[in-house]
Amino acid sequence: MQPLLHVALLCCLATVFAVPTVTVKWCVISELELLKCQDLAKRSPVFSCVQKSNTLACIVAIKAGEADAITLKGGDIYTAGLNNYDLAPIIAEEYTGANADTCIFSVAVAKQGTGFGLKDLRGKKSCHTGLGDPEGWNLPIGTLLSHNVINWAGVDNEPLLKAVSEFFSASCVPGAQGYPNLCQLCKDCTASSTNDYYSNAGAFKCLAEDAGQVAFMNPTKIPAFQKNNYELLCQDNTRQSVDNYKNCNLGREPAHAVVTRKDGQLTELIWTSLTTVRGFNLFSSEQYGGKDLMFSDATSVLRQVPAGTDSFLYLGAEYMSKIYSLLRDSPSQDSNPTIKWCAVGHAEVAKCDVWSGNTITDTGNTAVECQSAPTVEDCFKKIMRQEADAMAVDGGQVYTAGKCGLVPVMAEQYEEAKCGSPGVATSSYYSVAVIKKGSGVTWGNLKGKKSCHTGMSRTAGWNIPMGLIHKETNNCDFTQFFSSGCAPGAELTSPFCSQCKGSGKTVGDDAKCKASADELYYGYAGAFRCLVEDAGDVAFIKHTIVGENTNGHGPPEWASGLRSEDFELICPGNNNPVPITDYESCNLALVPAHAVITRPESQEKVIRVLLDQQAKFGTNGNDDKFRMFQSENGKNLLFKDSTKCLQAVGANSFETFLGPNYMTAMNSLRICSALTPDLEKSCTFQTCKD
The pLDDT value given to residue 18: 43
Q: What is the pTM of this model?
A: 0.76
Sign (positive or negative) of CA dihedral 378, 381, 383, 385: negative
| Residue 320, SS3 per DSSP | helix
> What is the residue type of 424?
V
The pLDDT value given to residue 37: 97
DSSP symbol at 184:
T
The pLDDT value given to residue 423: 62
| Residue 456, SS3 per DSSP | coil
- Closest among 268, 256, 337, 331 to 300, alpha carbons compared: 256
∠ CA 528-533-539, rounded to 5°:
30
The pLDDT value given to residue 573: 87
Predicted confidence (pLDDT) per residue in 377-414, tens digit = 999 999 988 899 999 999 889 999 998 889 999 999 99
**DSSP string for 490-514:** S-TTSTTTTT--TTS-SSS---TT-
The pLDDT value given to residue 420: 76
Low-confidence spans in the chain with pLDDT less than 70 = 1-21, 96-103, 329-336, 422-425, 506-507, 652, 686-690
Strands 339-344 and 538-542: unpaired
| Residue 670, SS3 per DSSP | coil
The pLDDT value given to residue 335: 56
Is the CB of residue 530 less than 8 Å from the CB of residue 486? yes
Predicted confidence (pLDDT) per residue in 155-202, tens digit = 888 899 999 999 999 999 999 988 899 999 998 899 888 889 999 999
The pLDDT value given to residue 690: 45
Three state DSSP letters for 57-98 = HHHHHHHHCCCCEEEECHHHHHHHCCCCCCEEEEEEEECCHH
